[in-house]
Structure 1
Amino acid sequence: MRTNRIRTTVLAATVLAAALSLTACGGEDKAMGTKPAGAAKTATPAATNTDNTGGTDGTDDKAQPDSDAPKAGTPDTQTVPAEGKHAGGNGNGKKPETAPNEKAAPSIPACTPTNSTVKVSSVSRPINHLLLTVTNTGSTDCAAYYAPFLRFDDAQAVYPVLDDSKPQAVVTLSPGEKAYAGIALLGEPGQNEPVKSDNLGVIMVDKNNESAGESTLKLPAETYTDSLGFVTYWQSDVETALMY
């Protein structure tokens, strides 16, 4: 009995000593600021609590970063153009230099009824054609611009002009020189009813293709026209004027 009591006493003393040792260690940990190991704390979500009280879980909205605000050190994506730099500039802030104005070529006066004469004549080839001739009767050069405007008798509309006959350059006439225009009187036979004409109004034009004066000529006898005819641009030679 004594032996068992001694063993029980010794065992109780041992347990008490171990408990005191653990208590001492716990106190030392608290004194040093060391937390005991345990389960990791779950992070609190940033979303606010939408309970019936209408409050939040304590998260301050002002603490959340503003996604629209530019971050420190991040350049703005919009760049401001440098002063003086604009569309069409040369990139150095100066306006692009322009070439000096070239001296305009002097305008040549148009051939008009005051400085030239016009006549109309029949030709053997090609058939159903007439030849119009303008002669510089002045003392200075004149230019036969574009094509003459023609009006047969009292027609309200001018005769069609053949665009394909446009020359590479305006025909310029020195005093006494001539320019020529071909007149096709009829289209294909049977397409339109020919109309007999007796007089021809010839309107010379200036460099702006506007009227510069009209002359009235007597047409060759038995001249017939229709709406499918045309007149050419002024040419420097007869062959070119009558090739269309």
Structure 2
Amino acid sequence: MRTFRIRTTVLAATTAALALALTACGGADGAGTKDEGAAASVSKVTPGADSGTTGSGTSGGSGTSGSSGTSGSSGTSGGAGTSGGDASASATSAAQTGAKKKNDGKTPACTVDDVKISAVKQDGVPTTHITLTATNVSGRSCTLLQYPLIAFGDIQTAKDVPSVAKSKPATTVVLSAGAPAYAAVRINEGGVDEENRAVSSFHVNLFAADGPAEGSEVVGAPAGGIAVDDAVAKTGYWTYELRNGADEF
């Protein structure tokens, strides 16, 4: 009896161990199937990541490639923008400074046919000064010598308005095509004066290399006309920029 019970117990234990082993094998097979399913699932998502649909899902090539492409594009675009900005800034600067050129003595003097002259009132009431603007319309460079020769009366009898020496620039004004130069002109001392006379237009001539040039240009006075006192009228020299405060006279 005792021996039978021991054999039975051993047989039962062996059977139980075999059942557990079979169960474990079945579990391993199930887990393998699930893992294969997961792997298949990942392989389906990965192409999507490579095509850009889920770029963040790919830690390597797709993300890096996308970043590189964007960086290259923006770099090229930025470079072009900077270059265009520099070119634009250079063109604007040249225009504002009157496209200054070194005077080599070979640039001919501007004639009245080379420049278009206009006049505007300077700020302040009453009007005591006007500003003359001479714009080079010749299509080539020319030298604007000294100051405007202004006659506020008959061209044959009126005396030229005297210049103010302290307004003379350090260098000669050389204008490229389309560039302007300026001159401030005092026309009266302000207030009502019996010596003032109404002027609706006046004559402006220019200097040649050896003195006053031939001919003159008729310049219209600013809207409403101007009141001129010949006894106090003075003109500044031509300059690239109207120097506010520097030409006070």
Normalised by the length of structure 1, the TM-score is 0.52
Q: How many residues align?
A: 141
- Structure number, greater radius of gyration: 1
Render the CA deviation track for 1:208-230: whole Å, top value 9, x for unaligned: 23224310012122411111120
Cross-structure match for 1:239: 243
Partner-residue secondary structure (3-state), 2:221: strand
Distance in 2 (alpha carbons) for counterparts of 1:118 and 1:188? 25
1:123 positional shift = 2.2
Task: Give the structure with the larger helix fraction.
Answer: 2
Cross-structure match for 1:26: none
1:153 positional shift = 2.7
Quote the RMSD (CA, aligned, Å): 2.5
Following TM superposition, where does structure 1 have runs of at least 4 consecutive aligned residues deviating by more than 4 angstroms? 188-192
8 Å CA contact 1:117, 1:134 repeated in 2: yes
Task: Provide closer, same or farther for how the CA distance between residues 241 and 133 of structure 1 changes in structure 2, counting only shifts above 3 A.
Answer: farther
Question: Among 198, 204, 207, which residue is 1:205 paired with?
Answer: 207
Normalised by the length of structure 2, the TM-score is 0.51
Distance in 2 (alpha carbons) for counterparts of 1:241 and 1:234? 15
Render the CA deviation track for 1:42-68: whole Å, top value 9, x for unaligned: xxxxxxxxxxxxxxxxxxxxxxxxxxx
8 Å CA contact 1:201, 1:215 repeated in 2: yes
Task: Provide closer, same or farther for how the CA distance between residues 240 and 123 of structure 1 changes in structure 2, counting only shifts above 3 A.
Answer: closer
Task: Provide closer, same or farther for how the CA distance between residues 211 and 167 of structure 1 changes in structure 2, counting only shifts above 3 A.
Answer: same
Partner-residue secondary structure (3-state), 1:119: strand
8 Å CA contact 2:128, 2:189 repeated in 1: no
Cross-structure match for 1:173: 175
Partner-residue secondary structure (3-state), 1:143: strand
Letter in structure 2 aligned against 1:236: Y
Cross-structure match for 1:185: 187
Partner-residue secondary structure (3-state), 1:164: helix
Q: Highest relative contact order (Cα 8 Å, sep 6+), 1 or 2?
A: 2
Distance in 1 (alpha carbons) for counterparts of 2:160 and 2:201? 13
1:140 positional shift = 1.7
Distance in 2 (alpha carbons) for counterparts of 1:135 and 1:144? 10
Letter in structure 2 aligned against 1:168: A
Task: Provide closer, same or farther for how the CA distance between residues 191 and 163 of structure 1 changes in structure 2, counting only shifts above 3 A.
Answer: farther
Distance in 2 (alpha carbons) for counterparts of 1:202 and 1:164? 21
Distance in 1 (alpha carbons) for counterparts of 2:104 and 2:161? 32
8 Å CA contact 1:134, 1:179 repeated in 2: yes
Note the residue ranges of structure 2 that are not aligned, 5 or more in a row: 1-102
User: Which moves more between the two structures, 150-159 or 194-203?
Assistant: 150-159
Question: Among 188, 193, 196, which residue is 1:194 paired with?
Answer: 196
Render the CA deviation track for 1:172-229: whole Å, top value 9, x for unaligned: 1011110000111113657872122222100011122322431001212241111112
